[in-house]
A = this chain, B = another copy of it.
Amino acid sequence: MRVTRSFSKTRKEKPSGATTISHELLVRGGFIDQELAGVFTMLPYGWNVLTKIEQIVREAMNKAGGQELLMTNLQAKDHWETTGRWKSIDVLFKVPSQHGREYALSPTAEDVITPIAKERIKSYRDLPLAAYQIQTKFRDEARAKSGIIRGREFRMKDLYSFHADQADLERYYNSMIPVYLQVYKRCGIDAKVVEASGGDFTKQNSIEFMAISDAGEDTIVYCAECTFAQNKEIAKLGEQHPCPDCATQLKTAKAMEIGNIFKLGTKFSEAFGATFVDAQGKQQPIIMASYGIGTTRLVGAIIEVHHDERGMIWPESVAPFGVHLVGINLDNDAVKKACEQLYGSLEQAGVEVLFDDRESASAGEKLSDADLIGIPHRVVISKKTLAGDTVEYKKRSESEPTMLSQAELLKKIIGRGDYAGPRSQRDI
């Protein structure tokens, strides 16, 4: 992608009212555009990142036996009344039709998946089953001021699992914990498994996956030496206490929820009469669990964890592009030709390149845009680098550039020496 042709454009001004660094950097970097408070267009750079995150999530869910489908955003009022949630979910958008009906606008999908599962699951032989979607969701939040971390419209992966007995639910539920941790790891986040309240769904505790971050709205009590971690809402111990598992002194930190899993039990299946015939020929309610990951929120969370004072620092796995090619002195024919050649070679090899081909912008503007956008590998070609028959190469995460020959650079990037990012995913 050439910067002169890009629909994403950087800007200098901070967005008004931004309270998180991710909100500020995503707007300044041309990744998102605010349509309404808490409602954002994903511009091409942001959409690139989101697509990669969602593909990582999709691969993990497929591996965990989830079947992908796409439920509806408009949902039947009578389904929501069946579960009592038409009245109890305070963030539910209610959409009137001019033709006399009223719909729920999906904040989540238990009220849709349960009647579908009821039609499909008749016998214990049909169980277990798991289905998921990656879909836009809506919540009529009272406040929305953290950018894409807490939006009124956002994207979320929600998986629902169906089981014949509690033991099978526990088995699958527990097997999802390493699956989730692997997703976060692939996205560059070291997540904590935190015990939390079950919220609207269950009286049992649930599991929240948390990234330690000052932008977080929660506080966790955790042990730095073992896996013990609890949301402060339910924690009985604090900083002054030893870890109940390993006796190390506990810590507290602000943390951001980046996923959660709930044992729903029979709450929804009983409401809808979703039963199956067990091995003894007896009707039983299906036992359910749900598993969420907010994918747009994850875009924000990754930045909260990976940035510096100059901008974003994308992990290669989810970076909007693999290489940022900066041409300086583009009025010089030799520089222009060298840039075009390298751009062509990298794209040819399937590496996604953002090529700053602006003749109008200064070297300083281009380099500070590269820092802001945070693509992992930066390559500069200028009169100076050409004079030495080299290019300047720098990782976004390092401070010192090195001078390489074009051949050395191509080997580094295309030969996957230092380049671990995905190849172009657009035309599969």
Does the CB pair B119–A9 fall under 8 Å?
A: yes
Bound-state Cα–Cα, A43 to B72, Å:
11
Give chain B residues whose Cβ lies under 8 Å from the Cβ of A58.
426
Q: Which residues of B contact A99 (CB under 8 A)?
A: 140, 142
Tell me the complex Cα distance, A120–B8, Å.
8
Which of A63-71, A181-189, A243-251, A403-411 is found at the contact surface with chain B? A63-71
CA distance A44 to B132 in the complex (A): 10
Interface centre among A6, A95, A142 (most CB of B within 10 A): A95
A129 to B44, CA, bound (A): 13
Assess the B76–A131 pair: CB atoms within 8 A.
Answer: no
CB pair A116 B74 closer than 8 Å: no
Q: Does A93 contact B (CB under 8 A)?
A: yes
Taking residues whose C-beta sits less than 8 angstroms from the other chain, chain A's interface range is: 35 or more
Query: Is A314 an interface position by the 8 A CB rule?
Result: no
Chain A interface, >50% SS class: mixed
- A45-86 CB contacts (< 8 Å) to partner B: 46-47, 50, 55, 58-59, 62, 67-76, 79
Q: Please report which residues of chain A, range 119-141, place their CB below 8 angstroms from some CB of chain B when the two chains form the complex.
A: 119-120, 125-126, 129, 131, 136, 138, 140
* Cβ contact within 8 Å between A35 and B95: no
Assembly CA distance A171 to B427 (angstroms): 25
Assess the A136–B73 pair: CB atoms within 8 A: yes
A92 nearest CB neighbor, chain B only: B98
Measured between alpha carbons, how far is A70 from B35 in the docked complex, in Å?
12
A95 touching B97 by the CB < 8 A rule?
Answer: no
B41, B70, B71: the one within 8 Å of A71 (CB): B41
Given the complex of chains A and B, what is the CA–CA distance between A428 and B423 in angstroms?
Answer: 10
Q: Are A138 and B96 in contact (CB under 8 A)?
A: no
Q: A405 to chain B: closest CB distance in Å?
A: 32
Q: How far is the CA of A47 from the CA of B427 in the complex (A)?
A: 19
CB of A40 within 8 Å of the partner chain: yes
Say if the beta carbon of A112 comes within 8 Å of chain B.
yes
Chain B residues lying within 8 Å of A103, measured Cβ to Cβ, are 36, 39
Cα distance A140–B96 in the bound complex, in angstroms: 9
- Interchain CB contact under 8 A, B72 and A427: no
Query: Is the Cβ of B40 less than 8 Å from the Cβ of A427?
Result: no
Asked whether A5 is an interface residue with its Cβ less than 8 Å from the other chain, the reply is yes
Q: Could you tell me the distance between the alpha carbons of A109 and B426 in the complex, rounded to whole angstroms? A: 23
Q: Are A74 and B41 in contact (CB under 8 A)?
A: no
CB-based contact B72/A40 at 8 Å: yes
* Residues on the B chain within 8 Å of A70, using CB: 41-42, 47, 50
Q: Which residues of B contact A42 (CB under 8 A)?
A: 69-70
Per the bound structure, the CA–CA distance linking A105 and B95 in Å amounts to: 9
Q: A36-B74, A41-B72, A116-B33 are in contact. Are A94 and B93 (CB under 8 A)?
A: no
A152 at interface, CB cutoff 8 A: yes
Closest CB in chain B relative to A38 CB, distance in Å:
9
* Residues on B with beta carbons closer than 8 Å to the beta carbon of A125: 4
Complex interface: chain B residues within 8 A of A140 (CB)? 97-99
Q: Taking the complex as formed, is A153 at the interface, i.e. its CB lies under 8 A from any CB of chain B?
A: yes
For A41, A95, A138, the residue with the greatest tally of chain B CB atoms inside 10 Å of its CB is A41
A36: chain B residues at CB < 8 Å are: 72, 74-76, 101, 103
Contacts of A46 in B (CB 8 A): 69
Query: What are some 20 contacts across the A-B interface (CB < 8 A)?
Result: A7-B131, A9-B120, A35-B71, A35-B74, A35-B76, A36-B75, A40-B72, A42-B69, A42-B70, A43-B116, A46-B69, A47-B69, A47-B70, A73-B138, A74-B153, A93-B95, A95-B105, A99-B140, A105-B105, A428-B428
Give A residues with C-beta under 8 Å from B. 1, 4-7, 9, 33, 35-36, 39-44, 46-47, 50, 55, 58-59, 62, 67-76, 79, 90, 93-99, 101, 103, 105, 112, 116, 119-120, 125-126, 129, 131, 136, 138, 140, 142, 152-153, 425-428
* Ranked 3 nearest A-B pairs via Cβ: A42-B70, A35-B72, A44-B67
With A7-B120, A59-B427, A74-B152 given, name 6 new contacts (CB 8 A). Answer: A9-B120, A36-B101, A41-B71, A41-B116, A73-B136, A97-B140
